[in-house]
Amino acid sequence: MTTTRFAPSPTGRLHVGNIRTALHNWMLARKAGGRFILRIDDTDAVRSQEEYVEAIRADLTWLGLAWDREERQSARLDRYEAAFALLRDAGRIYPCYESAQELEIKRKIALGRGLPPIYDRAALKLSDADRAAKEAEGVQPHWRFLLDHAESIMWEDGIRGVQKFDPAQLSDPVIRRADGSWLYMMPSAVDDIDMGVTQVLRGEDHVSNTAVQIQIFTALYAANFATGHDAAKNAPAFAHEALLVGSEGKLSKRLGSLGCDAFREQGIEPETIIALLARLGTSQPVEPIADRAALTASFDLATFGRAPAKFDEADLERLNTAIVHQLPYAAVRDRLPESMDEAGWHAVRPNLTHVREAAEWWQLVTGPIAAREFAEEDRAYLAQAEALLVWGDDPWGALTAALKEATGRKGKALFLPLRQALTGMDHGPDMGELLPLIGEAEARARLQQAAN
């Protein structure tokens, strides 16, 4: 079964880049009728905070990205311990004793010689006695995964095509700190195995992690890491999407802080964000598609390009207006004035750019409306309107037809005084929809008021 995961670290709020990754994983799973896992990457106990875990859940819920299962890395430490023991026994994990400063010096020397700053594996050459001496000095080891330089790395990336890496050009990654805590690299692979993840879709900043993780998957399977399920013993399929950049084409600070709270405050609908992020950076046009099933059906990794996806906040506003015009009453009811029913929503919806403006337009129905001054001639016209008002299925159609016939007025002269008298405004929602909502008694009262 297609299984995807979204794996945020709860060290901050979700921003538009994370939201996009979450959405794409959600769509991949939903389109295939598969599963979407929310995995909280909280192995960094210092930086991870519970309030961010809650905010992540709340944001995904607001966006309508329901997950089928939630996992937390902090609850899975025994699995990492088990994987660690297996890989260490298989000779694929080794202890290192360099301090951060020593490593930094090595890096600088390599760079100074014009060489890539690849870890020199000095710790591999230590004898048992060397290690014992380090530990006697009180130096606890950190641990690296030993890349197999003979096993070239290759995968068919769902977006980038065939990817090849020479493991000798990569540093053996540190997978565990001296205090015993875990870095991201191995736990993520362990989780993907245990949770039966079939598709890893993430940002292209993870491409070199994938190269390393492919060897970790192979090493874990070779060491018979117990999976508890009989999924194929293969690494998942990988796809890496181009990063999101601001409209200026750069990775912007603003994008890094733009999240659901800001969108909500701005009056941007979840469906707008979904419609934009589903297609941004793909060859498919960004369109105001409020039907999520339709968007999901058209989602296709093959349409993703390799150029950075440009996120323009102006697109968001434009798209939002078009989306608001399609939203069904059920989707917005909670945010509308209490007395506003479905017909009311349909009447005002075409005039909105944000749902919250519905309340202002609704006041034209509930009143009080702005008082207007009319010229003598129009007052007579409005008195005549009140006299000709017949309350049927389509009171506005009937009224304007009767007035046209009786007065010879047309166009603006016919319609505008009526709109002004009935709503206090020069423009607004379609009168044909509005008048039945205002109701006969109130309509008569407003026309009389204007005529006096």
Q: Which residues bind ligand GLU (CB under 6 A)?
A: 7-9, 41, 184, 188, 202, 206
CA dist 338 and 350 (Å) reads: 19
Nearest CB to ligand GLU, comparing residues 153 and 369: 153
Are 289 and 275 in contact, with CB atoms under 8 Å apart? yes
We find the least distance from the C-beta atom of residue 41 to ligand GLU, in angstroms, to be 4
Report how far residue 312's alpha carbon sits from residue 304's, in angstroms, rounded to the nearest whole number.
Answer: 18
Pairing of strands 142-145, 93-96: antiparallel
Least distance in Å: CB of 284 to ligand GLU? 24
Cis peptide before 368 (omega within 30 of 0): yes
- Contact between 355 and 327 under an 8 Å Cβ cutoff? The reply is yes
**Which of residues 188 and 320 has its CB atom nearest to ligand GLU in the complex?**
188
Write down the least CB distance from residue 158 to ligand GLU, Å: 14
Q: Are 295 and 274 in contact (CB under 8 A)?
A: yes
- Please count the other Cβ atoms lying within 10 Å of the Cβ belonging to residue 229: 9
State CA 64 to chain mean position distance.
10
Label residue 24 exposed, middle or buried (CB < 10 Å: 0-12, 13-18, 19+).
buried
CA angle 184, 189, 191 (to 5 degrees): 95
User: 251 and 245 in contact (C-beta within 8 Å)?
Assistant: yes
Nearer to ligand GLU, 187 or 344 (CB): 187
CB of 200 to ligand GLU, least distance (A): 6
CB of 66 to ligand GLU, least distance (A): 19
CB of residue 191 vs ligand GLU: minimum separation in angstroms?
9
Quote the distance between the C-alpha of residue 143 and its chain's center.
35
* Beta carbon nearer to ligand GLU, 41 or 386: 41
- Measured from the CB atom, the residue of 123 and 235 that comes closer to ligand GLU is 235
Q: Which residue is nearest to ligand GLU (CB)?
A: 41
Nearest CB to ligand GLU, comparing residues 42 and 269: 42
Question: Minimum CB separation from ligand GLU for residue 39, in Å?
Answer: 8
* Closest CB to ligand GLU among residues 142, 206: 206
Q: Within 267-325, where are the H helices?
A: 270-279, 292-298, 313-324
Task: Tell the smallest beta-carbon distance from residue 71 to ligand GLU (Å).
Answer: 12
Name the token pair of 287: 């369109």
For residue 129, the SS3 value is helix
> Which ranges of 155-259 would DSSP assign to H, the alpha helix?
185-194, 207-222, 253-257
Query: For residue 331, what are its two tokens?
Result: 């989707």
Q: Position 407: which residue type?
A: T
Rounded CA-CA distance 200/21 in Å is 10
Nearer to ligand GLU (CB atom), residue 134 or residue 206:
206
Q: Please say which residue, 39 or 349, places its beta carbon nearer to ligand GLU.
A: 39
Q: How far is the CB of 8 from ligand GLU (least distance, A)?
A: 5
Count of Cβ atoms closer than 10 Å to residue 336 Cβ: 19
